[in-house]
Amino acid sequence: MPKLLWIPVLFFILACNKDPESTEGGEILIDSLYINNVYVTNNGNIENIDYSSVEIRVKFHSRVDTLQFSKDKLFITGGVDTNYLHRFGDDRQTLIITLLDPLEGLSTYRVLFDQGPTLGGTIYKSYSFVFVTRLDETPKFPAITEDSLLTLVQRKTFDYFWEYGHPVSGLARERYDSGDIVTTGGSGFGLMAILTGIERGFITRQEGLDRLKTIVSFLIDPATDRFHGAYPHWLNGTTGKVHPFSSKDDGGDLVETAFLVQGLLTVKAYFINGSTAEKALCDSITKIWEGVEWDWYRNGDQNRLYWHWSPNYAWQMNMPVTGWNEALIVYVLAASSPTHTITKEVYDAGWTRNGAFVNNKTFYDILLPLGYDYGGPLFFAHYSFLALDPRNLSDPYTGYWTQLTAHSRINYEYCKANPKQYTGYGSDCWGLTASDIPGGYTASSPTNDQGVIAPTAAVSSLPYTPAESMDALKFFYYILGDRLWGDYGFYDAFSLEEPWFASSYLAIDQGPIVCMIENYRTGLLWDLFMTDEDILAGLTKLGFTY
């Protein structure tokens, strides 16, 4: 978060005394105040002030005793201190303060005219305002080619999973500073990021294999908690024991498990024809895959799948997995399972709700086949499709490339239109999805717009909106890079309205950046996953063509 800079400014206003031309010893009043020629009311907020040159002009009600002015009564903190000039106009009613050095761009400042005596009089009512400097639009890093920029973003984001992976399990920590808490779904994304790292030369094949063996050995260990084959949302990365995600969410999480298995099957496809050690890794992955009891999560013989089951609370979470959202991969994997499969009837009634997930409305002149109005948060277009290839995927309801492209384009057009008039939104600054926000976390979308942009939203949509996503990526890196770029790539989210920048990284937001950039560049993960014969059989069962 940008540093809040307080500028208490103590100077005081002219009072109407017996002498209408003087306020010596009386109350002093401000008639008007301007910063860079912009009028400011008491307790007002002013945006887009030029950081390179700041002038504050105060007009008093009457003439003041200028000889009484002292810099001891004008405090400017935040690195400014007394580094300013002041002068009075010939009328002795105008005070002009000029800061000598530029301020920081996109920073918040507070100006306070406090109570007390000065200028030969006394101010009895304080006067304050807040101003935000404009964005510094100069590039923060030297220009490089688009190809080099994509590699750089992938490499730095990959490091979240590689350098910051849990030291015992190798799994992905939930977020930066989450300690022993690892995330199963985010780890599935991380598995595919490791494959990308091998292909990109960030690590060697052997280094990647060694890490993947550590991860898979931890997952298959009997000491690691599983619930009818499904993993919990969070695990302790040292002990393998469940770490409850919420009070009743202390058992299996079928959606997070699906994200994990999606990654595991992609790893299997990568190494299936490799060395003896690599084939042994694939055998372990097969055991995990075949051990997930997808059909158990029907909660009896219901024609739907349920998100959670707990040995302590059974089905009390009572959350069916129904579409349209991020969870198509759950039904694809369940239908594809060679050991615990589901029928097409479960998919039809549970996921499509017998066709009720169809939208077919138009937003910004773009037809949206499925889901919520305006598409919902953009992770719907990412999580199930890090490995499941949407390019030629279709069913009687839609072509999925059409669905995902429409969703991404609608998100872009909404941010460009900016109906809530948030600072910064535009053609190169867009992307609403689940992310940290000031003071919390939310699933941002056009119908839940908090003024917060998450880089993962636009960047992970590169396959769907290549030009628009590349413009956003360049803006995030070159223009906001001094605030938004860190050790593991882009921080999770930001708001130019506040302004506010997260200092966090989340596995579920980092993973799609690496994976979807790679799918945009080479189709690597899509091509691998779609070689799995179980998956192809499951898609056929559900009525997909691919």
Q: Tell me: pLDDT of 337 over 60.
A: yes
Three-state secondary structure readout of 448-493: ECCCCECHHHHHCCCCCCHHHHHHHHHHHHHHCHHHHEECCEECCC
Q: Tell me: pLDDT of 15 over 90.
A: no
Greatest alpha-carbon pair distance for the chain in Å reads 100
Task: Tell me if the bond preceding 324 is cis, omega within 30° of 0.
Answer: yes
The length of the chain is 546
Q: Determine contact, residues 184/251, Cβ cutoff 8 Å.
A: no
pLDDT of residue 60: 87
| Residue in 3, 41, 140, 128 with CA at minimum distance from that of residue 499 | 3
How far apart CA 461 and CA 415 sit, in angstroms, is 14
| Residue in 420, 388, 482 with CA at minimum distance from that of residue 138 | 482
How many CA atoms are closer than 13 Å to the CA of 468, on its beta-carbon side? 23
Q: Tell me: pLDDT of 420 over 90.
A: yes
How far apart CA 461 and CA 481 sit, in angstroms, is 20
Q: Tell me: pLDDT of 456 over 80.
A: yes
pLDDT of residue 22: 54
- pLDDT of 485-514, one tens digit each? 999 999 999 999 999 999 999 999 999 999
- pLDDT of 97-129, one tens digit each? 999 999 999 988 888 877 777 776 776 777 788
What's the Cα-to-Cα distance from 161 to each of 27, 169, 188, 382, rounded to whole Å? 63, 12, 11, 18
Is pLDDT larger for residue 388 or for residue 68? Answer: 388
Q: Determine contact, residues 502/496, Cβ cutoff 8 Å.
A: no
Q: Which domains does the chain have, with CATH numbers?
A: 5-133 (2.60.40), 146-541 (1.50.10.140)
Q: What is the mean pLDDT of the chain?
A: 93
- pLDDT of 141-167, one tens digit each? 999 999 999 999 999 999 999 999 999
Does an H or E element contain 281, and which?
Answer: helix 276-291
One-character DSSP codes across 370-396: ESSGGG--GGGGTGGGTTS--TT-B-S
pTM above 0.85, yes or no: yes
pLDDT band at 82 (very low <50, low <70, confident <90, very high): confident
186: which 2 tokens? 């985010």
Q: Tell me: pLDDT of 287 over 50.
A: yes
One-character DSSP codes across 389-433: --TT-B-SS-BHHHHHHHHHHHHHHHHHH-TT--TT-BTTB----
